[in-house]
Amino acid sequence: MAQQKMIRVGNCSGFYGDRISAMREMLEGGDVDYITGDYLAELTMLILGRDRMKDPSLGYAKTFVRQVEECLSLALEQGVKIVTNAGGLNPAGLAEKIREIADNQGLKVNVAHVEGDDLRERAEELGLGAPLTANAYLGAFGIAECLKDGADVVVTGRVTDASVIVAPAIAAFGWERTDFDELAGAVVAGHVIECGTQATGGNYSFFTEISNLGRPGFPIAEIHSDGSSVITKHEGTGGEVSVGTVTAQLLYEISGARYAGPDVTTRMDTIELSEDGPDRVRISGVTGEAPPPDLKVSLNTLGGFRNQADFIVTGLDIDKKVALAKEQLEAWLTKPPAELRWEVSGTARDDAPTEEQASSILRCIVKDMDPKIVGRNFTSVAVELALASYPGFALTAPPANAQPYGLFTPGYVPQAQVPHVAVLADGTRKDIAPAPETLPLVDADNPVVEAPADLGATKRVPLGTIAGARSGDKGGNANIGVWVRSDAEWLWLAHTLTSDNLKELLPEAQDLTVHRYVFPKLRALNFVIEGILGQGVASQARFDPQAKGLGEWLRSRHLEIPVAFLDA
């Protein structure tokens, strides 16, 4: 295997709930050597944790089981190996389920799994408290050990998203633990394809430029033995692979120039992109450094219970109607919840042609450890207001029962304190040693960008007229990557869009800490806004809890842009 020069790795899942037919589409659409799938996010771990509380035999992604039932025979027939983190909190259980499927279908399959990431039983000992789930982000070498042993299917628990893509390259090319440049190159390829169709035009700022976005194809990484890669997709599938779509995904959920992982710290500021033909983008020049000494740990706890009521407020005197509803509801509650928050969304138009355009939504969100306080106590009052409040009172729907919500916090544990075990198809257990060489993680200095030339007259238009953006969540923080497509635009962007300017454009970030990172080779800036998502997506701190639309809000904001760019 070490003599191979290139492998084709296709991804068929970017999250738990992604297109169920994607695995079959990948197998039937053309040649691949490996199929990977990413099913785990911070919120997913909480969902799987609750599944495991109800039934200890669960804790894995059940949609993956359906895909295996449909596609295992075809994958074995084509010699395609499957690598996935769908094992979640129970990789051994998922491995056994796959063997059961194979037996029922009369198939012979070698299934291996990787374990050691689940630290829940040791959480207190490791100083991580008493969470519902505690999972360290393992790397790719355990998966690679399973593949080198001949596994047809490898399932893992919590590994870094890119690890399921990096591992096939390690197994194929014989990379060692200190081949940091090669590993970093594969991490970049993995980061691009791990979120599925976000690499082929999904969630892309300039989506109107893509002629066929009806059903984007899933991405493929052609990874070479030197760590370089080409991102592509099966011929004839929808969407597009371009420098723009790849740039957008590279900026997703990152921070600065150093992108830390358990196997390598990838220098995101070294990435070079170039067109390599239709729907083909080459990634080269990536360098890597030794990983940090600690592994990140995903910690989820049950934060309590939440509920909400959405009031429709229509017509005249909107502000006074809102004030009356707030005053009444808060006064009528016999047991005030621990947290009560109001939000007004939508702006009622004056003299509107439709009733909906004349209305705003007043949302009341409540949280408490006692489900009764945010359940019956809250919903009864919201309903009792119906004939006693502002004119035109209505609810979008009857208030529901209280729902549990979770809190995410990151933890860190020395690599040597986390077991990393490859459980081979025959049951043999192989311990994977921690990284032999580590470096403490520190931010790289932002490069100095030359000042732009005098660009002449400007016009006040949306930033998105010339700039793309991609945003996402990292615990309670959000990131917004912003990029442009010409060198002149880049010099202007780098000197115009400062952290202070971002706060002016996004007032919700005004009182928060904002970090700015500069990526000249991608013509991009990345901003990390601390705390804007509260305690993570599961805490439901904002109406957009994963910050998916934050970048598009920024693009819609107006500022003075050189007319020369607009004419071009």
- Predicted confidence at residue 2, as pLDDT, reads 44
Low-confidence winner among 49-58, 231-240, 368-377, 430-439 (lowest mean pLDDT) = 49-58
Mean pLDDT of 338-359: 92
Answer yes or no: are the C-beta atoms of 12 and 74 closer than 8 Å.
Answer: no
Cα 227 to Cα 20: distance, rounded to the nearest angstrom: 30
Pairing of strands 339-345, 287-289: unpaired
Mean pLDDT of 395-408: 89
Q: What pLDDT, in 10s, does the model give residues 279-338?
A: 999 999 999 999 999 999 999 998 899 999 999 999 999 999 999 999 999 999 999 999
Instruction: Find the helix or strand (DSSP H, E) in which 169 lies.
Output: helix 163-173
Return mean pLDDT, the chain: 95
Tally of CA atoms within 13 A in the half-sphere of 34 that contains its CB: 29
Q: What percent of the chain has pLDDT over 70?
A: 99
Q: What percent of the chain has pLDDT over 90?
A: 89
- Predicted confidence at residue 71, as pLDDT, reads 98
C-alpha distance across the termini of the chain, in Å: 50
Answer yes or no: are the C-beta atoms of 70 and 104 closer than 8 Å.
Answer: no
Residue 404 has pLDDT above 90, yes or no: no
303-407 CATH fold = Alpha-Beta Plaits (3.30.70)
Return the SS3 of 522: helix
Return the SS3 of 136: strand
Look-up of token digits 């989820």: 300
Answer yes or no: are the C-beta atoms of 125 and 141 closer than 8 Å.
Answer: no
pTM greater than 0.85: yes
Mean pLDDT of 343-357: 91
Q: What pLDDT, in 10s, does the model give residues 32-41?
A: 999 999 999 8
- Predicted confidence at residue 83, as pLDDT, reads 98
Q: How confident is the model at residue 3 (pLDDT cuts 50, 70, 90)?
A: low
- Predicted confidence at residue 50, as pLDDT, reads 83
Low-confidence winner among 1-5, 239-243, 274-278 (lowest mean pLDDT) = 1-5
Q: How confident is the model at residue 501 (pLDDT cuts 50, 70, 90)?
A: very high
Which of 8, 45, 17, 18 lies closest to 298, judged by CA? 45
- Predicted confidence at residue 568, as pLDDT, reads 78
Q: What pLDDT, in 10s, does the model give residues 57-115?
A: 999 999 999 999 999 999 999 999 999 999 999 999 999 999 999 999 999 999 999 99
List, as one string, the DSSP characters of 374-395: TTHHHHHHHHHGGGTSSTT-EE
**Burial (Cβ within 10 Å: 0-12, 13-18, ≥19) of residue 54:** exposed
Residue 1 has pLDDT above 60, yes or no: no
- Cβ neighbours, 10 Å, residue 504: 12
Residue 385 has pLDDT above 80, yes or no: yes
Number of helices (H), then strands (E), in the chain: 14, 26
Pairing of strands 258-259, 265-267: antiparallel
Domain coordinates of the chain in residue numbers? 6-298+410-431, 303-407, 458-567
List, as one string, the DSSP characters of 349-371: PTT-SSTGGGEEEEEEEEEES-T
Tally of CA atoms within 13 A in the half-sphere of 486 that contains its CB: 9
Mean pLDDT of 127-140: 95
- Predicted confidence at residue 421, as pLDDT, reads 98
> How would you label 251-272 residue by residue, b for 16+ Cβ within 10 Å and e otherwise?
bbbbbbbbbbbbbbbbbbbbbe
Show Cβ contacts of residue 258 under 8 Å, excluding neighbours closer than 6 positions.
Answer: 265, 266, 267, 268, 289, 441, 442, 443, 444
Helix 243-250 and helix 180-193: axis angle, to 10°?
Answer: 100
